[in-house]
Amino acid sequence: MSTHYQQLTQAQRYQIQAFRACGLTLREIATRIGTHASTVSRELRRNVAADQSYQADEAQGLMHQRRIVAAKASKYTEALWDRVTALLEHGVTPEAAAGRLQRESYELSVSHEWIYRQLDLDKRNGGELYKHLPRKKKKYRKRYGSHDRRGCIPNRVSITERPTIVDDRTRIGDWEGDTVHGQDGSSVTLVDRKSGLLLMGRVRRRTAKAVCKEIIRLLKGHVCHTLTLDNGREFMHHEKIAKRLSIKVYFADPYASWQRGCNENANGPVSVNLVVT
């Protein structure tokens, strides 16, 4: 059963003042005004200075002042939502939209969590703006009882062993890779962490052999230091890629897509330079 909390009324504050003057305990005062003893204790602690008595009128005035200070101006304006809507309709993610508003020094910047909440509200009211999200907010759920094969690639090297210079994004040639599966086939996507350059190539079938061949073809002629991949079984031939390109290959942790943030963001709305070869 949920508990409902109510603030003290002005009449209850006058009663507290009178009962305090009579020397009643906090528990006795709470019983007489119909509230909890902790409520009375909190009221006195907030509104009684040292060596002073409780004054109902003063306490009521302080309460109104706290309400004014605590009140937060609503971030929702029609102009703001129109701007966010336009960005989402052009394929910009909520995270990117929030960053764009901040960069543009918009009069009211918002967080991506706020945008997601507005999208949920719009969806509940019958809106379809959520359909512009790259993944429509669908979360992956492993089927109950199924065997998890991710991270079972032979001789995989964990991202924890990757040089720290890769995290700094100070050099060209540190790549992130993944595959994107669509209705008309699959694509291999590779993103350079420093420059944001995106390379894409199509494969008829998402097999380890086809993906390996396409990665080698795409990266041939580019500066290559490291390659960080997903744990999909299509990357089984990573050792061949490493040998042909003289590149160090690492694997992100299973279900930790944020460790390849550049590639994951590029697989949605393409916000970097696109080179389809």
Contact 193, 269 (CB under 8 A): no
Please list the alpha-helical segments (H only) found in 48-93. Answer: 56-70, 78-89
- pLDDT for position 128: 84
- pLDDT for position 276: 44
Please state the rounded mean pLDDT for residues 179-204. Answer: 86
Residues 221 and 8: their CA atoms lie apart, in Å, by 74
What is the value of pTM for the model shown? 0.49
DSSP states along 70-118: H-------HHHHHHHHHHHHTT--HHHHHHHHHHTT-SS---HHHHHHH
124 & 173 share domain = no
166 & 250 share domain = yes
Q: pLDDT of 245-277, one tens digit each?
A: 999 999 998 877 778 877 777 776 543 333 444
Return all residues near 24 (Cβ < 8 A) that are at least 6 apart. 32
The candidate with the shortest Cα–Cα distance to 253, out of 183, 188, 162, 174, is 162
Q: How many domains does the chain have?
A: 3
Structure tokens given for 194: 């420093």
Contact 72, 114 (CB under 8 A): no
246 & 196 share domain = yes
Whether residue 207 lies inside any domain: the answer is yes
Phi, psi values for residue 229, rounded to 5°: -115, 165
Whether residue 199 lies inside any domain: the answer is yes
Whether residue 4 lies inside any domain: the answer is no
Whether residue 141 lies inside any domain: the answer is no
Residue with tokens 């050099």: 171
271 & 173 share domain = yes
Q: pLDDT of 208-242, one tens digit each?
A: 999 999 999 999 999 999 999 989 999 999 999 99
Structure tokens given for 44: 């006195």
The domain in which residue 93 lies consists of 78-132
Residues 48 and 52: their CA atoms lie apart, in Å, by 6
Write the CA distances from 63 to 40, 47, 172, integer angstroms: 14, 9, 59
Give the pLDDT band of residue 1 (cuts 50, 70, 90). very low
Structure tokens given for 139: 């979360």
Read off the CATH number of the domain in which 205 is found: 3.30.420.10
Structure tokens given for 91: 């394929």
257 & 184 share domain = yes
If residue 276 lies in a helix (H) or strand (E), which one and from where to where? strand 274-276
170 & 234 share domain = yes
125 & 216 share domain = no
Residues 230 and 209: their CA atoms lie apart, in Å, by 16
62 & 169 share domain = no
Q: pLDDT of 42-62, one tens digit each?
A: 888 888 876 678 888 888 888
The candidate with the shortest Cα–Cα distance to 241, out of 274, 218, 263, 267, is 218
Q: pLDDT of 61-92, one tens digit each?
A: 888 777 766 545 555 677 788 888 888 888 78
Q: How many CB atoms lie within 10 A of CB 39?
A: 19
Q: pLDDT of 123-177, one tens digit each?
A: 888 888 888 886 654 544 555 454 445 547 899 999 999 999 998 889 999 999 9
Give the pLDDT band of residue 2 (cuts 50, 70, 90). very low
